[in-house]
Structure 1
Amino acid sequence: MPKRGYHHGNLRQALIDAALKLIELRGPMGFTLSEAAKQAGVTPAAVYRHFDGREDLIAEAARQGYEIFADLMDFAYQSGQPSALKAFEATGRAYLAFARKHPGHYIAMFESGISVNRTPELATAANRANGVLEKAAEDLSQHIPEDKRPPATMFSAHIWAMSHGVVELFARNSPGRASPFPPDDLLETGIGIYLRGLGLVDGDS
């Protein structure tokens, strides 16, 4: 008797959604294509109509994650306008919000070992997300004297690294590790210290 549940014009997305659940539960290498197919309610052979293997499936999950991430970052950036400082701080907070709300995508993007250059589409999506933070950094860096101004790519990379570190160490329930303070507070104060070091906020802010 044929399986029911999908009129599979959308089998591809059903498989991605199934993979995201499995990635969140078991990690990017903790499931098989057969398990993803079973979760989606189809036969394993059906997977190969859309994906050559598990890494291709994870790469597409990562691509979709970067698209969501870029939209969220852009919304945060726009919501902080016209203040360059508020726009920049909002993009830092958006990173933490994304990791909490989309853990499967986050893991596929940053913990799967899949290169962002695996496909042109994945590279484009990743570059768009990076570009939002770089734009926010570039806007804010205009308030720093030119001879003391770091490159916008370095500026944004520092904040990206700080945000990623807070997420990995304290916002994703790392075994045996308890956050000494709420992750949001750690990130906000860390960004504040960094911006004070650049002279962008005064010592009492």
Structure 2
Amino acid sequence: MAKRGYHHGNLKQALVEAALVLIEEKGPTGFSLSEAAKSAGVTPAAVYRHFEGREDLIAEIARQGYEVFADLLDYAFDTGQPSALAAFEATGRAYLAFARRYPGHYVAMFESGISIQRTPELHAVATRALGVLERAAEKLSEHIPPDRRPPPQMFAAHVWAMSHGVVELFARGSPGTRSPFPPEDLLESGIGIYLRGLGLLPPDA
């Protein structure tokens, strides 16, 4: 009798889906390729038709995650118009929403130790996602005199780090990290403080 995994017509994606569940349950290093194969209903040998090892499988999950992530940030930025500030804040909310909706992808992208340089495809889509934040930062700060304007890459990296910190500490239900404030409020207030420090918001905004 054929293994059930061969009936889905897409072995590679079946392995990705199986590994996503394992990542959510055990973390990116808590499972083996054999476990992923078993969950997908195929033999361990079948895994090597598509992936040389567990890191390659996780890298593919990260790539797919960045595709969704970049699309969400792009959509948030576009629909957050006409205000540059509103568009910027919308990208922050999209970050939190992605982490909640796609926890397995999020872990593969940011907590697995997989470099975005691992494959050209992964690097390209990760760069596209960061590019949305850089574009938002550039638009928001364009009225600052050039000699006082932070590089958009630095600006975006600061906000990315702030968003990641809120997700890690308060948005993913980690034990002992409950906050009296919603993660969205924490991120919005943190971004507000940062933007005021750059002179992008008046003190009483």
Structure 1 segment 96-175 matched on structure 2, within 5 A: 96-175=96-175
Structure 1: runs of 5+ lacking an equivalent = none
Deviation, structure 1 residue 179: 1.6
Bigger drift between 101-110 and 77-86 goes to 77-86
The residue number in structure 2 matching 1:89 is 89
63-72 or 83-92: which moved more? Answer: 83-92
The farther-off stretch of 101-110 and 140-149 is 140-149
**Mapped pair 1:79 → 2:79:** yes
Give the % identical residues. Answer: 77
Does structure 1 retain, via aligned residues, the 8 Å contact 2:37–2:44? yes
Does the 8 Å contact 2:5/2:14 carry over to 1?
Answer: no
Q: Deviations over 1:126-169 (max 9, x none)?
A: 10101011011011110222222111111111100100010111
User: In the alignment, residue 53 of structure 2 is paired with which amino acid?
Assistant: G
TM-score (norm 1): 0.96
TM-score of the aligned structures, taking structure 2 as reference length: 0.96
Give the whole-Å Cα distance in 1 for the aligned partners of 2:2 and 2:178.
49
Name which of structure 1's ranges 167-176 and 185-194 shifts more when overlaid on structure 2: 167-176
Instruction: Specify the code of the residue in structure 2 equivalent to 1:180.
Output: P
- Bigger shift: 178-187 or 129-138? 178-187
> In the alignment, what sits opposite 2:38?
38
**Offset at residue 195 of structure 1 (A):** 1.1
**Matched residues in 2 for 1:143 and 1:81: separation?**
17
Unaligned 5+ segments in structure 2 are none
The runs of at least 4 consecutive aligned structure 1 residues that moved more than 6 Å come to none
Deviates more, 1:167-176 or 1:43-52: 167-176
Partner Cα distance (1:200, 1:177) in 2: 31
Q: Distance in 1 between matches of 2:170 and 2:103?
A: 14
CA distance in 2, matches of 1:199, 1:52: 50
Question: 3-state SS of the aligned residue for 1:31?
Answer: coil
CA distance 1:197–1:170, shift in 2 (3 Å): same
SS, match of residue 42 in structure 2: coil
- SS across alignment from 1:25: helix
Matches within 5 A, 1:21-60: 21-60=21-60
Residue matched to 2:13: 13
1:18 Cα offset (Å) = 0.6
Structure 1 residue 8: deviation in Å?
Answer: 4.7
Deviation at 1:197, TM superposition (A): 1.4
Question: What is the rounded CA distance, in whole Å, between the counterparts of 2:143 and 2:201 in structure 1?
Answer: 10
Report the Cα distance in structure 2 between the residues aligned to 1:5 and 1:28, rounded to whole angstroms: 22
Mapped to 2, the partners of 1:85 and 1:173 lie a distance apart of: 29
Deviation readout 1:147-203 (Å, 9 max, x if unpaired):
221111111111001000101111122222222311111001101111111121222
Q: Please tell me the root mean square deviation across aligned C-alpha atoms, in Å.
A: 1.2
**How many residue pairs end up in the alignment?**
205
Counterpart CA distance in 2 for 1:201 and 1:4 is 58
State the alpha-carbon separation in 2 of the partners of residues 22 and 149 from structure 1: 44
